[in-house]
Structure formats: structure tokens, C-alpha cells
């Protein structure tokens, strides 16, 4: 190995007792490839096995905790006990390759396709649709329903424990339900679940508390709880960096094992508030300090990209699209073969990359999403 990249392969402890063999993480990426009944497919298992050998930790694609939270065609479920064997199969496949297995849990809220949820009933914090043509107007959740969904996050955590996962990541990013409650764009409530910034925090923090409670009750071994968030929204009103710093402070008090920033570009700069035009990741890292580890992500393709990102002081670096493009990325760096890393998708290599058909179709039909697809 080139000594320049040695820091990427230093071990790291999450929490008190979960040991990661290196600083590299597979980021959660939707793959659209599960069975209609919510079980994982053989193609998904092959896809994860191929990418679990090098990284220290794999965070799965999101799984829905409630039937009306299913956000994607071909998404695997975590909302019923009869899905535990499916979840166990996925956890076992990842762990067998030497990586820690983290299940990302979520509810899609107003972002769900109506045809995927019971009776086409799209719900959110308020009746504000997402921006864009043809977006459904969601129904505001009642207080009883809100409390039920909070319970569902705890139940899905229990299922993750029973399935053998090493932890869960609470998905509070990318415009889904937890973010919808935190956002002044999507949350126009005037009860305990909305209004002021502090009240908009009530739902995400209640979910964190419920997940932690489930871990305390059911986990016999150390079990990781992380939280993913998007630092800003383009809408006005919308989440600003200043809002996110308040969220970070609230999450840092909850004894979480990590915070995961959702960014398309690791070095992207703040839009408004909290030192605009400074990289968001630096603002976040400064605010977090040593209270909780941060995972950084976003357009990291080469070994030089990864080491530069690590030098910001962020202790863990997640690879997303790059691990789809080159499943052996980690091994190539470890073996001193970083010049052999592939950074553009080859349209002829689906089979040798073990990419399931539904994911492959999205990749090649989404110009600009992956390098190499024009």
C-alpha cells in the first residue's frame, strides 16, 4: 500500500465496543431490486456481497418501517415480522464478507408513489406537496398516527436486532418523513409537532428516543444507532445551515454512535446562513467537535479524493456511486493498485459488476447521475 493512504485503513471504534477494520463505509443507495412482497432478491444479495469485502461497514438501502412509508418500487421491507428472515439473509451476506451491517430505516412521507401505499394514502406533516409537477397533496398525519409511526421505528429496530444487524441508521435526510417534520417548508403544523424550530424537532427526536429504547430492551450485544441528515433545502422557506446546527446540537445530546451527512459533493458549500460559501462538511464538523463521529460522503471517486476528505478531521468516509462503478475500490487501494481504480461506469459491464437489472436501468437512463453515462 502507498503509505499516503494508510490513514484510510486505520481501525475505528463506533460506540464503546463496535470495531471497524478501516475508515471506509458503503453508503446507503436505493437499488430498486427487491421482490414485490418486500423480500430481498438473489440479485441484491450478490450485489451486496460483492461490495462488502473491503469496507469496514455497509449501510443498506433504506427499508420502510410502515406500509404507507414505502418510497420506491423494488424496496425491501422491515415493517412486518415475517420479513425478519429476509433481513437476516441480507445481514448475514454482508457480515460474512467482514463488514459491519447497518440497516437504514425510514418512512417516505409525501415522497411515496401513491401506487405503492395502501389506498394511495400519501401522508406527511402537513398538506404541502413536494415541489414539481404532479406531486400528490399529502394528508396531514393525526397525533395518533404520528405516535404509531414512532413506535414502528422502534419495532423495525427490534427486527434488525433479531435479524443480526450490527446497527440501524435513522434516515432523516433526502426529503423523507423525518426531514418533512423538521422542515419549515413541509411542516406548517401549529401543535406540539410543528411551528417553532424546536417543535419541528419533536418528531425526529422522538424517533431517536424510540429506537434507542428498542436497542436497550432487545439488544444483547453492542448495537449501533446512527442518524443521517441533509444539511439544507433549496426551498424557501426551507432548512438552512443555521437550522441544521440546531438539529446537530439536539442529536449530539442523544448518545448516538454517528451522524451521517447526505451530500452529492463532499465539498459543496452552504447556500445561506452559517458562513455561506464555506464547505458544509467543515461547518458541521466544527459544530459537532468530538461529541459524535461524523461520516462524510459525496462524489469521492479516487484514493486521493478519499484521503483529502479524511484530512478534514471527519473520521469516516462513505463511498456511494464509486462502489457501484468499482466494487474492488478498497482492495485496489489496500494493495497499492489505486491507479487501476475505475471511475466511470462502463455500459457493457453490468454482469461483471453484479448490478441488478432494475438498478442498471436507472443508472443508464439517468444521464449525469453516474460518470460515464451521457
Q: 83 in helix, strand or coil?
A: helix
pLDDT of residue 243: 96
Please state, in angstroms and rounded to a whole number, the distance separating the CA atoms of residues 289 and 133: 41
Q: How many CB atoms lie within 10 A of CB 372?
A: 13
β-pair partners for 316: 295
Question: What's the start-to-end Cα distance of the chain, in Å?
Answer: 34
According to DSSP, the β-strands at 139-140 and 57-64 are: unpaired
CA 245 to chain centre: 19
How big, in percent rounded to 5, are the helix, strand and coil portions of the chain?
Answer: 40, 15, 45
Here the cell at position 368 is 449525469
Of 64, 176, 227, 301, the active-site residue reads 176
**CA gap 322, 351 in Å, rounded:** 17
What is each CA distance from 169 to 111, 165, 256, 302, in whole angstroms? 19, 11, 10, 26
Residue 292: HSE in the Cβ half-sphere, 13 Å Cα cutoff: 25
What is the DSSP secondary-structure string of 180-230? HHH-TTT----STTSSSHHHHTHHHHHHHHHHHHHHHHH-SS--EEEEEE-
> What pLDDT, on the 0 to 100 scale, is given for residue 139?
98
Give pLDDT tens digits along the chain (374 positions): 999 999 999 999 998 789 999 999 999 999 999 999 999 999 999 999 999 999 999 999 999 999 999 999 999 999 999 999 999 999 999 999 999 999 999 999 999 999 999 999 999 999 999 988 889 999 999 999 999 999 999 999 999 999 999 999 999 999 999 999 999 999 999 999 999 999 999 999 999 999 999 999 999 999 999 999 999 999 989 999 999 999 999 999 999 999 999 999 999 999 887 787 899 999 999 999 999 999 999 999 999 999 999 999 999 999 999 999 999 999 999 999 999 999 999 999 999 999 999 999 999 999 999 998 86
Clarify whether 176 is annotated catalytic: yes
Cis peptide before 44 (omega within 30 of 0): no
Q: What's the CA gap between 154 and 206, in Å, rounded?
A: 10
Amino acid at each position: 500500500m502507498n503509505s499516503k493512504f494508510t490513514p484510510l485503513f486505520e481501525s475505528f471504534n463506533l460506540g464503546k465496543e463496535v470495531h471497524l477494520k478501516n475508515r471506509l463505509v458503503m453508503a446507503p443507495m436505493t437499488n430498486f431490486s427487491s421482490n414485490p412482497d418486500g423480500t430481498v432478491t438473489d440479485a441484491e444479495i450478490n450485489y451486496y456481497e460483492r461490495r462488502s469485502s473491503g469496507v469496514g461497514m455497509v449501510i443498506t438501502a433504506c427499508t420502510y418501517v410502515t406500509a404507507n412509508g414505502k418510497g420506491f418500487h423494488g424496496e425491501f421491507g422491515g415493517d412486518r415480522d415475517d420479513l425478519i428472515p429476509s433481513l437476516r439473509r441480507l445481514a448475514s451476506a454482508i457480515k460474512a464478507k467482514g463488514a459491519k451491517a447497518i440497516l437504514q430505516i425510514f418512512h417516505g412521507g409525501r415522497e411515496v408513489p401513491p401506487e405503492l401505499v395502501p389506498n394511495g394514502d400519501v401522508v406527511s406533516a402537513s398538506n404541502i406537496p413536494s415541489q414539481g409537477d404532479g406531486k400528490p397533496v399529502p394528508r396531514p398525519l393525526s397525533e395518533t398516527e404520528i405516535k404509531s409511526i414512532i413506535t414502528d421505528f422502534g419495532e423495525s429496530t427490534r427486527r434488525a436486532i433479531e435479524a443480526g444487524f450490527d446497527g440501524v441508521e435513522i434516515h432523516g435526510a433526502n426529503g423523507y418523513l423525518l426531514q418533512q417534520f423538521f422542515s419549515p417548508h413541509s411542516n406548517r403544523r401549529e401543535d406540539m409537532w410543528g411551528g417553532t424550530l424546536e417543535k419541528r424537532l419533536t418528531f425526529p427526536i422522538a424517533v431517536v428516543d424510540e429506537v434507542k429504547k428498542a436497542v436497550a430492551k432487545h439488544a444483547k450485544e453492542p448495537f449501533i444507532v446512527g442518524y443521517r441528515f441533509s444539511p439544507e433545502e433549496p426551498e424557501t422557506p426551507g432548512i438552512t445551515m443555521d437550522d441544521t446546527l440546531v438539529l446537530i446540537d439536539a442529536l449530539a445530546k442523544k448518545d448516538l454512535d454517528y451522524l451521517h451527512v447526505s451530500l452529492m459533493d463532499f465539498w459543496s458549500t452552504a447556500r445561506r446562513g452559517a458562513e455561506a460559501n464555506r464547505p458544509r462538511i467543515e461547518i458541521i464538523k466544527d459544530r459537532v467537535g468530538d461529541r459524535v463521529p461524523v461520516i462524510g460522503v459525496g462524489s469521492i471517486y479516487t484514493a486521493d479524493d478519499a484521503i483529502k476528505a479524511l484530512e478534514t478531521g471527519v473520521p469516516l468516509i462513505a463511498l456511494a456511486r464509486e462502489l457501484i462503478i468499482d466494487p474492488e475500490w478498497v482492495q485496489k487501494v489496500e494493495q497499492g493498485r489505486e491507479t487501476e481504480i475505475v471511475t466511470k461506469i462502463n455500459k457493457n459491464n453490468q454482469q461483471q459488476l453484479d448490478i441488478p437489472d432494475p438498478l442498471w436501468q436507472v443508472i443508464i437512463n439517468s444521464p449525469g447521475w453516474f460518470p460515464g453515462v451521457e
